[in-house]
Structure 1
Amino acid sequence: MSKHIKGATVNKKIIWPLQSLNFFMADLQAGVGPFLGIFLLAHGWKSGLIGSVMTIGGVAGMIMTIPAGALIDATKRKRFYVVISAVFTILASCVILFSQEFWVVSISLVATAIAGSVIGPAIIGITLGIVKQKGFNRQNGNNQAFNHAGNVLGSAFSGYLGYKFGMTAIFLLSAFFGVLSIISVLMIPAKSIDDNAARGMKEGGEDDKASGFKVLFQCKPLLVLAGALAFFHLGNGAMLPLYGLAAAAKNQENASVFVSMTIIIAQLVMIGASLLAIRMSEKSGYWLVLLISFISLPIRGLIAAHMASHIGIYPVQILDGIGAGLQSVAVPGLVAHILNGTGRVNIGQGAVMTVQGLGASFSPAIGGWIAQEIGYNSTFMILGGFAIGSILLWVLFAKTIRAVC
């Protein structure tokens, strides 16, 4: 039986393993991260040091995104790199259970970030290789919906297991999802992945050996996109972990349950936002989709500053879901569209993610130290304000972006 995807007909036996990979990989990549702050807080860490160690991992991931994209463009063994990355993520996460020393936690987060920098481009490349450019927007949107659904399930289980059995159970659950991710990717037939299509190369096209930053700086729309995302994630990166710490500091009934609820609410909204982004991008292009995502952060920061409670998590995390859900479809789709025919789609994705990661990696450290000095409420306002830079860039260069959409 086959499935029609906007210009491409693909066997369902290939699509379902791809979607299950996105489902199970979600908890492996994000399941432990949001709970790490309260885990370290319980072991005597302060918010500034927690933010700093998260930044170390973020910087490592940022540095590796372009080499990871280049690797995925070049390799014909994309499934293998997903498997290796999953194994390293499982091992690196479990190390923290045995030692909470600063350098042990730092090395663990660095290893996890490096592995994560490979997984993202690999899944995008596998998807492009299966459904080609014509089917990518819709299939990527479906992938993201499954990814967010996986986060919902993983977070629900994490909150329950953390409440009943402690943080160790959350780490073990993430490892279990990692094993299921490995099984899923191995169920995708290697021959179903067109390696030229996976890197955005047209049939008979010549290989472009340009580096990631050369690809980025030679393309004004990509540069504007990367800059806008950097501003956004400079504010967004610290918002969720600090919101969890704010709840723990106010002695919420159970911090792991509170953090679990923040993730579940956001991820449920992301499922709908991902599917909506498919329709919006097909009808109006990616510019409007991304503008809405940028606007969501200042509003979110304003609400978080005044409602760090069990009531406040609903509007705060609904807005998180809108922003992240729209971007999860629009960013890879726009990059793949701009670089179609160059053979450098994944290295371009890596270049954009590197600049975006520059903001995301420094956000926890900036947010953590600001919160430690002036309190959480003012910090949320400041973090939300960073997205004003994104909005200004996006509006000023609207003509340039709309032209390529």
Structure 2
Amino acid sequence: MVIASDTQPVARPGFNPRSLDAVNFLLADVRGAVGPYLNVYLVTQQGWSLSALGLVTMISGLAGLALQTPIGAWIDRTRAKRSAIVGALAVLAVAAVVIFIRTDFWSILAATTLSAVVGDVFGPAVSALTLGLIGRRGLARRMGRNAAYDHAGNVMIALLAALVGWRFTQSAVFLLVPAFAVMAAVATLSIPARAIDHDLARGADAAAGTGEAAPASGWSVLLRCRPFVVFCLCAFLFHFANAPMLPLVGQELAFAHPDWATAMMSFCIVAAQAVMLPIAILVGHTADRWGRKPIFLVGFAILPVRAVLYTLSHDSGWLIAVQLLDGVGAGIFGALTPLVIADLMRGTGRYNLAQGAVATMIGIGASLSGLAAGLVVDALGFDAAFLALGLAAGVAVLVFAVAMPETRPAAVP
């Protein structure tokens, strides 16, 4: 397999960039039609306690963690990346139907566990397709474009979910998943299999000058790369702090406005995603010129500020306004993470394994914080939970500033 150089990208036969746009847009619709809506629905309509909800979140998240890194390694090896996405979409569709029909503990646990496992296919698989289709040249802009379409999809599904929840019932929102899963599968299969450079897709391009693919490194390459270990720790802390914030805000709004619970959650999501979209485009256009680290520091620093601001007022307008800051932090994190991993794993052939490892750390952080935040809220209230999460975010800022190097290549196109 001949690997394209940074400055001479290979034309991909039959590949239309709009297909990759559609994949990112529609996958956001599939994943966004459950997420925080399930939390609000179970608490406000089905009488679940926050502790029980946190327990389900933790168990399902931790169950999925066991397969995240192996899934990344499998994506490195397989040439059936499109089929992996389509299969994961089918499982998500079935899980959403189960949630619509049953709301007992064990059914919800089974459905969310399946969703957690297959949901981690999408990030590495789409990033692998992107690298295998686009190459190194223009990768920063393409990753920003991927993130922008993902955020646009999240805005659309939030608005649609608000309409469906208001016009029908909160549970009807979950039926949007099978519909969008079919469309996402069609978009994925519209990418020609022959257009994907599978060696490049796993980051095996160190030998670009010789025209040969680099052999895959062992799994130990992840531990030997100190910047990668630091990045994993920061990703854990970021998501430990960030993951429960939107659900907590949604629960506060739902208790204050029970008849508008789904609509309020949609407003929060739209507010953040509307900011993430231009942020992702900006990051894609500036990451090669400004570097990765200074942009990432801004994203990390926003999180503790946001946590403190949530405690200053419980007015619905204020909470939604503060949620706009999520668009800055999460927008930067989502656009830059696959790019930083590509920088660090170049030539190892372990790009998707590394993405699985980062997803594992993110999943651990999000799963543990869901239970922790629920327990703090039940015992001390929402403000105490926000402040505790803000403290974890502050640690993430410090670690990243001190220990994480710049990963931008010395020469960029």
Counterpart-to-counterpart distance in 2, 1:21 and 1:294: 28
Match of 1:261 in 2: 267
Q: Give yes or no for the alignment of 1:394 onto 2:396.
A: no
The answer for unaligned runs of 5 or more in structure 2 is 1-5, 206-210
Residue 176 of structure 1 deviates from its aligned partner by 1.1
Deviations along 1:195-228, one digit per CA (max 9) or x if unpaired, are 01110112523432512xx232110111111111
- Paired AA for residue 143 in structure 1: N
SS in 2 for 1:312: helix
Q: How many residue pairs get matched?
A: 398
Residue 162 of structure 1 deviates from its aligned partner by 0.4
- Paired AA for residue 232 in structure 2: A
Counterpart-to-counterpart distance in 1, 2:29 and 2:319: 20
Deviations along 1:329-357, one digit per CA (max 9) or x if unpaired, are 11110100111111111101111221222
Match of 2:175 in 1: 172
- Residues 237-256 of structure 1: matches in 2 within 5 Å? 237-251=243-257, 253-256=259-262
Deviations along 1:112-161, one digit per CA (max 9) or x if unpaired, are 01111111111111111100122322111101100000000010000111
- Residues 156-305 of structure 1: matches in 2 within 5 Å? 156-202=159-205, 203-211=211-219, 214-251=220-257, 253-305=259-311
Residues 58, 361 of structure 1: 8 Å contact kept: yes
Counterpart-to-counterpart distance in 2, 1:143 and 1:137: 10
Identity of aligned residues (%): 32
Residues 37, 262 of structure 2: 8 Å contact kept: yes
Q: 2:319 aligns with which of 307, 313, 321?
A: 313
Deviations along 1:32-69, one digit per CA (max 9) or x if unpaired, are 11100111111110111111111222222332221111
Residue 314 of structure 1 deviates from its aligned partner by 3.6
Match of 2:146 in 1: 143
Residues 234, 386 of structure 1: 8 Å contact kept: yes
Distance of aligned partners of 1:403 and 1:150 in 2 relative to their CA distance in 1, 3 Å threshold: closer
- Paired AA for residue 239 in structure 1: M
Residues 68, 347 of structure 1: 8 Å contact kept: yes
Q: Give yes or no for the alignment of 1:114 onto 2:101.
A: no
Deviations along 1:344-371, one digit per CA (max 9) or x if unpaired, are 1110111122122211111111111111
Residues 344, 407 of structure 2: 8 Å contact kept: no
Greater Cα shift, 117-126 or 243-252:
243-252
Residues 33, 157 of structure 2: 8 Å contact kept: yes
Match of 1:332 in 2: 338
TM-score (norm 1): 0.94
Deviations along 1:154-204, one digit per CA (max 9) or x if unpaired, are 100001110110123211112211111001001110001110111011252
Distance of aligned partners of 1:116 and 1:403 in 2 relative to their CA distance in 1, 3 Å threshold: closer
TM-score (norm 2): 0.92
Q: Give yes or no for the alignment of 1:153 onto 2:156.
A: yes
The answer for unaligned runs of 5 or more in structure 1 is none
Match of 1:16 in 2: 18
RMSD between superposed Cα atoms in Å: 1.8
Deviations along 1:250-280, one digit per CA (max 9) or x if unpaired, are 2355110000000011111010110111123
Counterpart-to-counterpart distance in 1, 2:91 and 2:314: 35
Q: Give yes or no for the alignment of 1:29 onto 2:31.
A: yes
